[in-house]
Structure 1
Amino acid sequence: MTSRACVLHGIHDLRLETQSEPVTGPGDVKIAVLAGGICGSDLHYFDHGGFGPVRVREPIAMGHEAAGRVVETGESIDTIQTGSLVAINPSQPCGHCVYCREGKQVHCLEMRFMGSAYRLPHEQGLFREQVVVPVSQVHRFNRDVPVRAAACAEPLAVCLHARAQAPDLAGKRVLVTGAGPIGSLCVAVARDAGAAEIVATDLQAMPISVAERMGADKTVNLAAEPGGLDPYKTDKGQFDVAFECSASAAAIRDALTCLRPRGTLVAVGVAGDTPMPLNLIVSKEITVRGTHRFHGEFAAAVEAINSRTIDVAPIISPSFPIEKAHDAFKEAGDRARAMKVHILFNGYTGD
């Protein structure tokens, strides 16, 4: 038996390849992948061959956001049945290094993260028709959950972890800079946490409209309205917490300027060396918190989607079959048109 995969060989060199179907071990489950979401890091691999020091050095099956149905289980596994819709947690900490022992699994020294080119050999990703993973890496959904919504568990987990780096948001004023998929999901998790007011910014009309559907009370298109945040900069700032999701130097400055003294900036967006106005951080006694991936939040994301506590549907864009994966990446790279583009596998045609 064989299985097809989307394999990146170099910049814009994405190939549909046939591989041997993976074998299920005693503690594993085999999953027929149905939908895989294209992430910002996937786009960096596709368009630039990597990001920062992480470079594609050998062919890699891409993708780390995926959902599918269990088609085979290993011996003695009775916690999940064939036919179940599941999301696959791509994060595999070792469990025994110093950070895992301290409960800081996101900083595991031996982390294996599916679809990552950080290590050599690369960790192969989830844009494959058939994958085999440990049963601990799969989380089951209710029957009525749409497949593409299930595939959004991973980015939602990222945002739940980001929320955990902030103080309690109940009754607080929150700013989200950058309203792409992660920014819009940060809007949703802030709304879920009981924020009193949420303002989201972007430079494109389409992400702005999605942020509104995800729960933003007000949105500002800074390309059309450069001074749109000025009212929030008065009296040393108006927001208690800012989730900075763009990694833009200008957006970072806006966020710090709009934060109240002793407010919190959660840095979600990733870039290279980026200037920050240290004077604002010091003079306003701002707390700056980074946020990296997730651990227990993956299960929480699945539960939020299962219970409809958080609706991820507004971020979902048109999808493409595996045969048109190259077109899917082109679409995903156009922020004026697309948010979360999925590649569809195994003949799945969408919800």
Structure 2
Amino acid sequence: MSNIGVVAHAAQDLRIADLGEPAAAPDEAVVEIAYGGVCGSDLHYWRHGAAGLSVLREPMLLGHEVSGVVLTAAADGSGPGAGTRIAVHPLTPHAEGEIPWPVDRPNLAPGSTYLGSALRLPHTQGAFARRVALPARMLHAIPDDLTLERAALAEPAAVAWHAVERAGDVRGKRVVVIGSGPIGLLVVAVARHHGAAEVIATDLEPLPKDLAASLGARAVDARDADAIAALHADVVVESSGTVPGLSAAISAAARGGTVVLLGLQRHGEVAVPLATAITRELSLVGSFRFGAEFDDVIAALADGSLVVDGIVTHIVPATSALEAFRIAGDAAASSKVLLAFDDAATDLASAKNDGTGSVAS
């Protein structure tokens, strides 16, 4: 079987290419990818040829939300053995010159690389392919009762987990999530897992609001400024990455509350109602990727305590990647979209999907 991969060349130039067989370094394992989740950054590379400051300057294999099976273990003996089912932690922390960073927070290492990122040159190639060579340390074994399909959510769920924990203990608190895209929905799931007394989620579109409600959140229309201002939340997680969303997050926070800035805002200056943040003594905290939470997320997905039902709305064969990206780019019609790479995953996608490509209930 040819080793197809999903490669971004420039804005609006996404290609399915035969990559040939991967050549593994001694500390790398060859992994057969089962599923890959289409992330917002993947969509940005496809649509704009850039994700923030990360600009495509050479062809790049996309993808960092992946699960699969080890085909060939690393030659140096590190990492899981052949046949192990795994999820991938895509971060490689690196120092950069004399820039300081807290060593116990690897996600803040200034010279870090991330699978499928064009921030550095040469680009860090991703994992949207049938077979890829990956550093063995990135590969985390998953329990037998966790499906590879659900394991593909481990990376974005870890992003959400990290964001909720940046707010501190949310047990018994009112948590508001601004923006109910895939990450926002995972924040809802994590907040409920962590014992929030009430979770409220906002969005513009009916589908994400319905999905948030199915996960146990109260849904509020993002256009209803009065309703948002009346929420008085202990914790607000801004996951939309929009300027209106940031203003709404500050508006929704109770006096003395915490606002977690998860959605990546545009580069440069952004208008923020700081007077409100000051007079309410709000704590504004950033949240970027994740660190050591990955195994906790895998365990919670496996034992069912982290409820993520319905967040995956489409599973599309990797051979139809362009169609998958189009679906993922329509927030009114989809949430998380998975690419199916191997034969078993593709067959499962065909069995689960209805005639429109949606995952049948």
CA contact (8 A) 1:95 1:105 kept: no
Could you tell me which residue of structure 1 aligns to residue 353 of structure 2? none
Could you tell me which residue of structure 2 aligns to residue 58 of structure 1? 58
Q: 2:294 aligns with which of 281, 291, 298?
A: 298
The separation in 1 between residues aligned to 2:34 and 2:67, in whole angstroms, is 6
Q: Secondary structure at the match of 2:77?
A: coil
The change in CA–CA distance for 1:100 and 1:138 in structure 2 (over 3 A counts) is farther
> What CA RMSD, in Å, does the superposition of the two structures yield over aligned residues?
2.0
The separation in 2 between residues aligned to 1:187 and 1:213, in whole angstroms, is 10
Alignment of 1:44-193 (within 5 A): 44-75=44-75, 77=77, 80-94=80-94, 99=100, 102-193=103-194
CA contact (8 A) 1:36 1:342 kept: yes
Consecutive unaligned residues of structure 2, counting only runs of 5 or more, are 350-361
1:114: Cα distance to partner? 0.5
The separation in 1 between residues aligned to 2:50 and 2:265, in whole angstroms, is 12
Could you tell me which residue of structure 2 aligns to residue 235 of structure 1? none
* TM-score (normalizing by structure 2): 0.90
Tell which deviates more after alignment, 119-128 or 78-87.
78-87
Question: How many residue pairs were aligned?
Answer: 344
Kindly provide the amino acid, as one letter, of the partner of residue 214 in structure 1.
Answer: L
Kindly provide the amino acid, as one letter, of the partner of residue 297 in structure 1.
Answer: E
Alignment of 1:189-338 (within 5 A): 189-216=190-217, 218-223=218-223, 227-232=226-231, 238-272=232-266, 273-338=269-334
1:24: Cα distance to partner? 3.1
What do residues 48-93 of structure 1 show as CA deviations (whole Å, max 9, x unaligned)?
A: 1113322111100001100011111123637633222211111111
1:227: Cα distance to partner? 4.1
The separation in 1 between residues aligned to 2:115 and 2:203, in whole angstroms, is 30
What do residues 9-39 of structure 1 show as CA deviations (whole Å, max 9, x unaligned)?
A: 1112111111231123433221100110000
Q: Secondary structure at the match of 2:277?
A: helix
The separation in 1 between residues aligned to 2:173 and 2:188, in whole angstroms, is 13
The separation in 2 between residues aligned to 1:179 and 1:319, in whole angstroms, is 19
CA contact (8 A) 1:244 1:268 kept: yes
The separation in 2 between residues aligned to 1:227 and 1:165, in whole angstroms, is 27
The change in CA–CA distance for 1:29 and 1:278 in structure 2 (over 3 A counts) is same
Kindly provide the amino acid, as one letter, of the partner of residue 283 in structure 1.
Answer: T
Consecutive unaligned residues of structure 1, counting only runs of 5 or more, are 233-237
* TM-score (normalizing by structure 1): 0.92
The change in CA–CA distance for 1:179 and 1:120 in structure 2 (over 3 A counts) is same
The separation in 2 between residues aligned to 1:293 and 1:280, in whole angstroms, is 27
Tell which deviates more after alignment, 71-80 or 21-30.
71-80
Kindly provide the amino acid, as one letter, of the partner of residue 267 in structure 1.
Answer: L
Tell which deviates more after alignment, 107-116 or 248-257.
248-257
Could you tell me which residue of structure 1 aligns to residue 358 of structure 2? none
